[in-house]
Amino acid sequence: MLNVSERLGEPILDSMHFLNEIVERYPQAISFAPGRPSADLFVVDESLELLRKHAPTILGKPGLATDKALNEIAQYGRTNGIIHHHVARQLLQDEGLTIDPEHLVITNGCQEAMFILLLTLFTPSRDVLVATEPVYQGITAAAKLLGIQTVPICLRADGPDLDELSMAIQALRREGKVPRALYTIPDFDNPSGNTTSLQTRQRLCALARRENMLIFEDSPYRMLRYEGAPPPLLKAIDPEQVVLLGSYSKTLFPGLRIGYLSGDVEVSLSGRVVPLSEVASKAKSLSSINTSPLMQATLAAQLIEKGHRLGAHVAVLADHYRGRRDALLAAMERHFRFPRDSSGVHWNRPEGGFFVTVHVPFEFSMQTMRECAATVDVITVPLSLFAFATAHDRAMRLSFSAVPYDDIDEGVRRLSSFVTSFAARSGSRLGIPA
Amino acid sequence: MLNVSERLGEPILDSMHFLNEIVERYPQAISFAPGRPSADLFVVDESLELLRKHAPTILGKPGLATDKALNEIAQYGRTNGIIHHHVARQLLQDEGLTIDPEHLVITNGCQEAMFILLLTLFTPSRDVLVATEPVYQGITAAAKLLGIQTVPICLRADGPDLDELSMAIQALRREGKVPRALYTIPDFDNPSGNTTSLQTRQRLCALARRENMLIFEDSPYRMLRYEGAPPPLLKAIDPEQVVLLGSYSKTLFPGLRIGYLSGDVEVSLSGRVVPLSEVASKAKSLSSINTSPLMQATLAAQLIEKGHRLGAHVAVLADHYRGRRDALLAAMERHFRFPRDSSGVHWNRPEGGFFVTVHVPFEFSMQTMRECAATVDVITVPLSLFAFATAHDRAMRLSFSAVPYDDIDEGVRRLSSFVTSFAARSGSRLGIPA
C-alpha cells in the first residue's frame, strides 16, 4: 500500500466536495448554496452553430469548407491558445484595457490560470501568497496542495484592509519570507459579495508597487454589475504589478472551461528578463498541453458574432440576476425583521455578482448548516468554509444566482424562522421580530 | 523584478518549443518531426452533430429538448467527469478490461492525468519516478517542474530492461529514496516505436508487485496496431499495480483534450485506505475544476453511436497509418543502401503507432538537425531530445503519421544523401552504398 502525502488529507481540499454532498443529501431543500450561473441563460446550441459558421475565419482561412476547418482546429496547436487576438479585442472594447495578445495565456478555466501562477511564480520554501479573507478556496487549496504558505488579510466592505496588508508584509519579511502576490476578487467577491472602492484600488496598487508584490486580480463576475458605475480594473491602474485572471464561465457558460491570464508582467528567469507568458507557457504545456481549441473557437465565434463586445449579451444576464438579487434583498427585509443595530443580524447589498453575506449572532458552523437543512429544508454555506482559520464563524453566504424566483421568498422565510429559533436556543438576543 | 524558479529555465522544459521553432523556421521542409495524428482523419463536424443528437441521453434525460440538454451539460459538474460509464464500456468492449466507472478520472488530455499522478502520489523529497529511456518528455519535464527526481532505465526492443530496473530500485533504496512508479509506453513507444513483449510485460508486473511500485501505463497509440496480435495491457496483467493512462487524441482528435486515468488502485491517506480516484479528484478540482463537459459529451456521443466499440473506426485509421509506415520502411530500404551489419545505419519496424527510430554512426545533435533542415530541407528529431542525459545521441525519431505520401520517398532520399555526406565528413565508415 502506498502512502500519499498528508497534504491531500487537509480539510480545505474537501470543502468543494462538502458542498456537493450537502446538496445531494437534501435534494428537496431550497438551496442558496451553489455559486453557479443559471443554465437557462446559456446559449450552447447557438454557440456550436456559430462555431461551424466562423471556424474558417478563426483559422485564418475564410474560404475553407466547414468540416475541413473544424478538423484543422481540432489538431494539436499553440500552447498559449489560438484565440488570444479575440480575447484581447473583447478586453479592449468592453473594458478599455490594452493587452498585447501575444502575452495572453488561454487556460482550462480560470482555475488552471491560478494553478499555473502558483507553479511558475512561487518557490514554496520562500514565497508566500497573501489573500483576502474570507477567500475563494480554489486558490488557497491549490497553494496548500503545492506546499505554498498562505497568509490572510481581512476583506472589508470597501476592499482589502491595507493596514493589515502592510503589517503582514513586514512580518513576512522579518521571517525571511517573500510576500509574492496578493490574491483578491475586487468586483463582487466570492464569497462576500463586497466590491473594492476606487480609493482602495489606487492605494492597493501603490502599495503593491512599493513592495514589489504582484496582485492576482480574479475577475469572473465583473461584467455582471446591477447598478452603479464600475471602478477601474486593478490591471488598468497598474499594468506592471497586476496579473488579470479572466473567465467566460459566468458570461457565457462554464462548460467552455475557458479562462485566461494576462502574462505581460516581466519576470526574471536565470538573470534574463522575460514576460510571464513565456514561463507560464512552459507550465501550461506540462499541465495540459493546451486548452481545447474547439472550445476556444466556440468562444471566439461568439465574440466575432457580437463584434467582440459582450456588453449587450451581458445586459440580459444582468437583468436576470439583478431581479434575483432584488428579490432576495426584499425577502430579507420582509422576513428578517430583527432590529438592525442590536440583533446582530445584518447583511450587505452587493452591486453585482452572485453572493450576499448574512451575519447572525451565533456560530453558523457546518453542523448549523446541516441542522438548517434538516429542520427547515434550506441550505446556505457557512462563511467559515471560506476562511483560513476560525474567523467569519458568525456568517453565511447566500447565492441568489441559481434559485428559482418562487423559492427565494419561501427560502428566506424559513431561514428567518431557523435563525430565530436557533438564536433563542443558543441564548442570543435578537430583539423582538416586528 | 520578480525572480522565478531556476527550474523553469531547465532545457527539458523547452524541448517541445524547440520542435515548433524548427518546423516554423523551415516551412518548406519535408518534416518527419511532429508526432501528430493526421487531421484528414478527424470527424469533428460529425462529432458535433452527434453531440446534439445524443445530448439528452448523455444527460440521462432522453426526452429533453436538444438546446436545454446542451445547456445543462454546459453547467459546472462532477470533478472526475460525466462520461465515466461510457469510457468504461469502451474499455470493456475494445480491450476486455473491467474498470469500475466510479474510479475513472476524466482529464484534460492524458497530460493532465500524468500531472495529477505526480501531484498526488509523489512527495518530492522522498519519492522517485523511474522512466524508460528514451522517454516522452511530457512526463519527465512535468516531474522536473514539480521538483520530483527521475531515474532512467533503458528501453530495449522488447521493453524495459528489467535488470537495470532492479538495480535502479536497489540503488534508490540504499539512498533512502522510494521508487514510487515506473512510467512506460508499452505499445509503440514515443519516441522509439518499440513494443514491450508479453514475457517482459509479465516479468515487469511481477517485479513491480514485489517492489510495491506502481506502473504508469501510458497507452495513446495502442489501438493503432498495423500487424500482429496485441499483447495484454499491463493493467490487465496486474490491475492492482498499474495505473492506465488513456487518450482519445489519436483515435478521435486531439482537440477534444480528453484523457483519463484508472484510479482504482488503493492508496493510504493519513492511515485510511482510499482509491486513487478520491485523492486524484482533489488535485483535479484544483488544477482545472473539471474537464469540459461539452468535449466529454462529444466523445460520449461518438461512443454511443459506435456501440462503445472504436474497433471499426480505428481500423480505417490503421489502414491509413499502416500505408505510411510501409511507405517509409520501403523508402528506407530503397535509399538507405548501407550494409546493415557494419555501417551503423539501422532502424526498427514498429508494429503500430507513429514512430520509427533510425540509428546513424555519428552524433545526431540539435545542431545536426538544423544542418539537415538547412542543407536538404528535411526535419527529423534527435533521439537525444527524449533522453535524460547524453544517451541516444546517435539516433533520430522519424514520425510517419502526418507526412504526405508523395513526400515520404523524396524525404528519405534526401535524408540518405545527408547521412552519407555527413558520415563522410565526420569520418564514419558507412561502407559503400550499393
pLDDT in tens, A127-167: 999 999 999 999 999 999 999 999 999 999 999 999 999 99
Task: Label residues A331-343 b or e (16+ Cβ within 10 Å = b).
Answer: bbeebbbbeeeeb
Q: Do both A282 and A399 map to the same domain?
A: no
Q: Do both B233 and B330 map to the same domain?
A: no
**How distant is the alpha carbon of residue B121 from its chain centre?**
20
| H or E element at residue A178 | strand A178-184
Would you call A293 helix, strand, or coil by DSSP?
A: helix
Contacts of A281 in chain B (CB under 8 A): 17
Instruction: Look at residue A289 and tell me if it is in a domain.
Output: yes
**How distant is the alpha carbon of residue A57 from its chain centre?**
32
Q: What pLDDT, on the 0 to 100 scale, is given for residue B391?
A: 67
Q: Do both A83 and A163 map to the same domain?
A: yes
Instruction: Look at residue B432 and tell me if it is in a domain.
Output: no
Q: What pLDDT, on the 0 to 100 scale, is given for residue B21?
A: 77
Tell me the pLDDT of chain B averaged across its residues. Answer: 94
- Total domain count for chain A? 2
- Residue ranges making up the domain that contains A179: 44-305
Quick: pLDDT tens for B46-76: 999 999 999 999 999 999 999 999 999 999 9
Distance CA B16, CA A286 (A): 10
Q: Do both A70 and A194 map to the same domain?
A: yes
Q: Across the interface, do B34 and A70 touch by the CB < 8 Å criterion?
A: no
CA distances to A22, A383, B60 from A31, in Å: 10, 15, 23
Q: What pLDDT, on the 0 to 100 scale, is given for residue B16?
A: 67
The pLDDT confidence band at residue A434, using thresholds 50, 70 and 90, is very low
Distance CA A77, CA B42 (A): 15
The pLDDT confidence band at residue A16, using thresholds 50, 70 and 90, is low
Q: Do both A35 and A57 map to the same domain?
A: no
Q: Do both B331 and B357 map to the same domain?
A: yes
Peptide bond into B191 cis (omega under 30): yes
Size of interface A-B (CB pairs under 8 A): 246
| H or E element at residue A227 | none
Q: Do both B252 and B209 map to the same domain?
A: yes
Q: What pLDDT, on the 0 to 100 scale, is given for residue A219?
A: 96
Q: Do both B266 and B390 map to the same domain?
A: no
Q: Do both B299 and B354 map to the same domain?
A: no
Nearest to A8 by CA among B285, B263, B141: B285
Q: Supply the CATH number for residue B54's domain.
A: 3.40.640.10
Q: Across the interface, do A256 and B14 touch by the CB < 8 Å criterion?
A: no
Q: Could you say which of B265, B286, B305 is where a domain stops?
A: B305
Q: Do both B50 and B31 map to the same domain?
A: no
The pLDDT confidence band at residue A1, using thresholds 50, 70 and 90, is confident
Instruction: Look at residue B348 and tell me if it is in a domain.
Output: yes
Give the nearest chain A residue to B142 (CA atoms): A286
Q: Could you say which of A272, A305, A338 is where a domain stops?
A: A305
Would you call A104 helix, strand, or coil by DSSP?
A: strand
Backbone angles phi, psi at A284, to 5 degrees: -60, -45
Q: Across the interface, do B1 and A257 touch by the CB < 8 Å criterion?
A: no
Backbone angles phi, psi at B127, to 5 degrees: -95, 140
Contacts of A6 in chain B (CB under 8 A): 270
Q: What pLDDT, on the 0 to 100 scale, is given for residue A428?
A: 75
Contacts of A298 in chain B (CB under 8 A): 294
Strands A355-359, B127-133: pairing kind = unpaired
Q: What angle do the packed helices A137-145 and A109-121 form, to 10 degrees?
A: 40
Instruction: Write out the DSSP string of A351-368.
Output: SBSSEEEEE-SS---HHH
**Between A267 and A18, whose confidence is greater?**
A267
Q: What pLDDT, on the 0 to 100 scale, is given for residue B433?
A: 47
Which of A52, A121, A286 lies at the smallest CB-CB distance from B115? Answer: A286
Q: Across the interface, do A70 and B45 touch by the CB < 8 Å criterion?
A: yes
Q: Supply the CATH number for residue A317's domain.
A: 3.90.1150.10
Q: Across the interface, do B4 and A268 touch by the CB < 8 Å criterion?
A: yes
Contacts of B70 in chain A (CB under 8 A): 42, 44-45, 48
Angle at CA of residue A203, ends A199 and A207, nearest 5°: 170
* Mean pLDDT score, A208-237: 98
Contacts of B281 in chain A (CB under 8 A): 17
Q: Could you say which of B275, B305, B335 is where a domain stops?
A: B305
**Between A340 and A125, whose confidence is greater?**
A125
Q: What angle do the packed helices B66-73 and A44-58 form, to 10 degrees?
A: 80
Q: What pLDDT, on the 0 to 100 scale, is given for residue A431?
A: 58
Q: Which of A68, A76, A320 to mutate to test the interface with B (most CBs of B within 10 A)?
A: A76
Other beta carbons within 10 angstroms of residue B103's beta carbon come to 19
For residue B431, pLDDT beyond 70: no
Instruction: Look at residue A230 and tell me if it is in a domain.
Output: yes
Give the nearest chain A residue to B289 (CA atoms): A111
**Do residues A145 and B119 lie in contact, with contact meaning Cβ atoms separated by under 8 Å?**
yes
Closest-CA distance, A429 to chain B, in angstroms, reads 40
Q: Across the interface, do B254 and A76 touch by the CB < 8 Å criterion?
A: yes
Q: Across the interface, do B44 and A292 touch by the CB < 8 Å criterion?
A: no
Percent of chain A's residues with pLDDT above 90: 86
Strand partners, B18: none
Q: Name the grid cell of A10.
A: 487537509
Closest-CA distance, A293 to chain B, in angstroms, reads 6
Quick: pLDDT tens for A203-213: 999 999 999 99
**Do residues A344 and A420 lie in contact, with contact meaning Cβ atoms separated by under 8 Å?**
no
CA distances to A235, B267, B432 from B97, in Å: 51, 21, 51
Q: Across the interface, do A285 and B16 touch by the CB < 8 Å criterion?
A: yes
Instruction: Look at residue B276 and tell me if it is in a domain.
Output: yes
Q: Across the interface, do B286 and A75 touch by the CB < 8 Å criterion?
A: no
**Between A107 and A431, whose confidence is greater?**
A107
Which of A141, A212, A266 lies at the smallest CB-CB distance from B286? Answer: A141
Distance CA B377, CA B400 (A): 16
Contacts of A142 in chain B (CB under 8 A): 286-287
Q: Across the interface, do B294 and A40 touch by the CB < 8 Å criterion?
A: no
Percent of chain B's residues with pLDDT above 90: 86
Quick: pLDDT tens for A239-252: 999 999 999 999 99
Q: Do both B56 and B157 map to the same domain?
A: yes
Instruction: Look at residue A232 and tell me if it is in a domain.
Output: yes
Distance CA A271, CA A292 (A): 34
For residue A276, pLDDT beyond 70: yes
Q: What pLDDT, on the 0 to 100 scale, is given for residue A389?
A: 65
Q: What pLDDT, on the 0 to 100 scale, is given for residue B428?
A: 75
Instruction: Look at residue B349 and tell me if it is in a domain.
Output: yes
**Do residues B202 and B334 lie in contact, with contact meaning Cβ atoms separated by under 8 Å?**
no
* Mean pLDDT score, B184-199: 98
Closest-CA distance, B212 to chain A, in angstroms, reads 7
Q: Which residues contact A381 (CB under 8 A, 6 or more apart)?
A: A19, A32, A33, A191, A369, A396, A397, A399
Q: Name the grid cell of A218.
A: 480574479
* Mean pLDDT score, B261-285: 95
Closest-CA distance, A18 to chain B, in angstroms, reads 12
Contacts of B288 in chain A (CB under 8 A): 108-109, 111-112, 115, 257, 287-288
Contacts of A286 in chain B (CB under 8 A): 13, 111, 115, 138, 141-142, 145
Percent of chain A's residues with pLDDT above 70: 98
Q: Across the interface, do B67 and A45 touch by the CB < 8 Å criterion?
A: yes
Q: Across the interface, do B115 and A287 touch by the CB < 8 Å criterion?
A: yes
Q: Across the interface, do B42 and A71 touch by the CB < 8 Å criterion?
A: yes
The pLDDT confidence band at residue A433, using thresholds 50, 70 and 90, is very low
Instruction: Look at residue A434 and tell me if it is in a domain.
Output: no
For residue B434, pLDDT beyond 50: no
Contacts of B1 in chain A (CB under 8 A): 212, 266-268, 273
Angle at CA of residue B186, ends B183 and B187, nearest 5°: 140
Q: Do both B289 and B325 map to the same domain?
A: no
* Mean pLDDT score, B89-96: 98
Q: Across the interface, do A214 and B293 touch by the CB < 8 Å criterion?
A: no
ipTM surpasses 0.90 = yes
Quick: pLDDT tens for A367-419: 999 999 999 999 999 999 998 765 678 999 999 999 999 999 999 999 999 99
Q: Across the interface, do B8 and A70 touch by the CB < 8 Å criterion?
A: no
CA distances to A60, A331, A344, A425, B208 from A361, in Å: 60, 20, 5, 12, 58
Task: Label residues A222-244 b or e (16+ Cβ within 10 Å = b).
Answer: bbbbbeeeebebbbbbbbebbbb
Q: Name the grid cell of A41.
A: 441563460
Q: Across the interface, do A289 and B142 touch by the CB < 8 Å criterion?
A: no
Backbone angles phi, psi at A343, to 5 degrees: -80, -20
